Amino acid sequence: MRRSGGFASLVLLAACAVGSKASSNTLRLALINDPILNPVLSPDIGSVLVNKVIFPGLVRPDDQLRPSPDLATSWTVSSDGKVYTFALRRGVRWHDGVPFTSRDVQYTFEQIRDPKAGGFLWSDYTAIDRVETPDSFTVRFVLKSPFAAFLTLLGYNTGIIPEHAFHGKPIADNTGFNRTTPIGTGPFRVVSAVPGSSLTLEANPDYYGPRPKLAGIVFKLVPDANAQIAALRAGELDLITLEPASLPGVRDVPGLTIRQTTVPQHYFVGFNQRRPLFKPALVRRALDLAVNRKAIVDGVLKGAADLPVGTIPVALGEWFADSLPRAATDTAEALELLRQAGWNRDAGGALRNARGEPFRFTIRVDKGNPSREQSALALQQDWKSIGMDVSIETVEFAALVRDDLQPGKFDAILIWWTTPPDPDQYSYYVTDQINNNVAYSNRAVDSLLEIGRGETDPVRRRAIYHAFQAVEREDPPVLVLYYPREIQAMSDRLGGFPQLGIRDALRHAELFSLSSR
Amino acid sequence: MSGFRFLARRLAQGVLILWMVSSATFILMHLAPGGPSMLADPKLGPVERAAIEARLGLDLPLPAQYVAWHRNLLKGDLGQSYLYQTPAGSTVLARVPNTLLLAGSALLVSVLLAVPLGIRAGLRPGRPFDRLMEFVSVGALSLPTFWYGIVLIMIFAAMGHLLPAGGTATPGLEGSMVDRIRHLILPVAVLSLPIAGELFRYVRSGIEAMAHAPHIPAARAKGLTEGAITRRHLLRNALLPLVTVIGLQAPMLVGGAAITETVFSWPGMGRLGVEAALGRDYPVVMATTLAVAAAVVAGNVVLDLLYRWIDPRVRIE
**Number of helices (H) and strands (E), helices first, in chain A?**
15, 22
Write phi, then psi, for A398 (nearest 5 degrees): -60, -40
Query: Is pLDDT of A20 > 60?
Result: no
Chain B CB within 8 Å of residue A21 CB: no
Site from B153, B154, B266, B280 to mutate, A interface, most A CB atoms within 10 angstroms: B153
Contacts of A467 (CB under 8 A, 6+ apart): A448
Query: What is the domain extent for residue B116?
Result: 92-267
Query: Is pLDDT of B205 > 60?
Result: yes
Which pLDDT value is given to residue B215?
82
Q: What is the mean pLDDT of chain A?
A: 92
Closest by Cβ to B55, choosing from A118, A231, A235 = A118
Q: Are B194 and B140 in contact (CB under 8 A)?
A: yes
- Bridging pattern class, strands A412-418 and A360-366: parallel
Chain B CB within 8 Å of residue A391 CB: no
| pLDDT tens-digit series, residues A263-321 | 999 999 999 999 999 999 999 999 999 999 999 999 999 999 999 999 999 999 999 99
Q: Are A33 and A46 in contact (CB under 8 A)?
A: yes
DSSP, collapsed to helix, strand or coil, labels residue A451 as: helix
Which pLDDT value is given to residue B316?
57
Exposure string of A11-36, with b = 16+ CB inside 10 Å and e = fewer, is eeeeeeeeeeeebebbbbbbbbbbbb
> Considering the domain boundaries, does residue B176 fall inside one?
yes
DSSP, collapsed to helix, strand or coil, labels residue A304 as: coil
Cβ <8 Å between B157 and A196: no
CA distance A101 to A71: 10
> Considering the domain boundaries, does residue B154 fall inside one?
yes
CA distance B297 to A254: 52
Strand partners, A394: A365
Which pLDDT value is given to residue B256?
65
| pLDDT tens-digit series, residues A454-467 | 998 889 999 999 99
Q: Which position has the higher pLDDT, A123 or A349?
A: A349
Closest by Cβ to A398, choosing from B34, B45, B166 = B34
Q: Are B166 and A229 in contact (CB under 8 A)?
A: no
Q: How far is B262 from chain A (nearest CA, A)?
A: 6
> Considering the domain boundaries, does residue B17 fall inside one?
no
| pLDDT tens-digit series, residues B94-134 | 998 998 899 999 999 999 999 999 988 988 888 899 999 98
Q: Which residues in chain B are contacts of A236 at CB distance < 8 A? A: 157, 164-166
Which pLDDT value is given to residue A284?
97
CA distance A353 to A332: 18
> Considering the domain boundaries, does residue B129 fall inside one?
yes
Closest by Cβ to A405, choosing from B36, B42, B146 = B42
Q: What is the DSSP string of A252-298?
A: T-TTEEEEEEE-SEEEEEEE-TTSGGG-SHHHHHHHHHT--HHHIII
For chain A, percent of residues with pLDDT exceeding 70: 95
CA distance A56 to A185: 6
How big is chain B, counted in residues? 317
Which pLDDT value is given to residue B141?
86
Chain B CB within 8 Å of residue A198 CB: yes
> Considering the domain boundaries, does residue B163 fall inside one?
yes
Site from A31, A156, A198, A364 to mutate, B interface, most B CB atoms within 10 angstroms: A198
3-state helix, strand, coil in chain B (%, to 5): 75, 0, 25
Q: Which residues in chain A are contacts of B283 at CB distance < 8 A? A: none
Q: What is the mean pLDDT of chain B?
A: 86
CA distance B29 to A403: 16
- Residue A21 amino acid letter: K
Longest Cα–Cα distance in chain A: 102
Query: Is pLDDT of A50 > 90?
Result: yes
CA distance B7 to A32: 43
CA distance A363 to A371: 15
Q: Are A178 and A172 in contact (CB under 8 A)?
A: yes
Which pLDDT value is given to residue B30?
87
> Considering the domain boundaries, does residue B303 fall inside one?
no
User: What angle is formed at CA A485 by the lines to CA A469 and CA A496, rounded to 5 degrees?
Assistant: 120
Which pLDDT value is given to residue B317?
53
Q: How far is A356 from chain B (nearest CA, A)?
A: 36
The enclosing H or E element of B76 equals: none
CATH code of the domain covering residue B244: 1.10.3720.10
| pLDDT tens-digit series, residues A86-144 | 999 999 999 999 999 999 999 999 999 998 888 888 888 999 999 999 999 999 999 99
Of chain A residues 143-172, which have a CB less than 8 A from chain B? 172
Cβ <8 Å between A398 and B158: no
CA distance A341 to A281: 9
Q: Are A95 and A177 in contact (CB under 8 A)?
A: no
**Least CA distance to A194: which residue of chain B?**
B171
Q: pTM, whole model, 2 decimals? A: 0.87
What is the average per-residue pLDDT within B48-54? 84
Which pLDDT value is given to residue A15?
37
Quote the ipTM score: 0.84
Q: Which position has the higher pLDDT, B281 or B305?
A: B281
Query: Is pLDDT of A429 > 50?
Result: yes
| pLDDT tens-digit series, residues A390-411 | 999 999 898 899 889 989 999 9
Cβ <8 Å between A434 and B45: yes
Query: Lowest mean pLDDT: which of A197-211, A489-503, B141-155?
Result: B141-155
HEC-encoded secondary structure of B223-273: CCCHHHHHHHHHHHHHHHHHHHHHHHHHHHHHHHCHHHHHHCCCCCHHHHH
Query: Is pLDDT of A47 > 60?
Result: yes
CA distances, A417 to each of A269, A350, A405, B117 (Å): 11, 33, 12, 57
Q: Which position has the higher pLDDT, B253 or A77?
A: A77
What is the average per-residue pLDDT within B149-176? 87
Q: How far is B45 from chain A (nearest CA, A)?
A: 6
What is the average per-residue pLDDT within A172-193? 94
Nearest to B109 by CA among B240, B246, B231: B246
Query: Lowest mean pLDDT: which of A132-146, A171-185, A320-334, B195-209?
Result: B195-209
Site from B43, B91, B182 to mutate, A interface, most A CB atoms within 10 angstroms: B43
Which pLDDT value is given to residue A89?
97
B241: pLDDT confidence band, cut at 50, 70 and 90?
confident
What is the average per-residue pLDDT within B70-84? 88
A350: left (phi over 0), alpha (psi -120 to 50) or beta: beta
Q: Which position has the higher pLDDT, A431 or B171?
A: A431
The enclosing H or E element of B184 equals: helix B177-211
CA distance B269 to B256: 9
> Considering the domain boundaries, does residue B152 fall inside one?
yes
Chain B CB within 8 Å of residue A18 CB: no
> Considering the domain boundaries, does residue B315 fall inside one?
no
Cβ <8 Å between B172 and A200: yes
DSSP, collapsed to helix, strand or coil, labels residue A493 as: coil
Based on the structure, what is the number of domains in chain B? 1
The enclosing H or E element of A180 equals: none
Q: Are A37 and A179 in contact (CB under 8 A)?
A: yes
**Which residue segments constitute the domains of chain A, with CATH numbers given?**
5-238+493-514 (3.40.190.10), 265-484 (3.10.105.10)
A9: pLDDT confidence band, cut at 50, 70 and 90?
very low
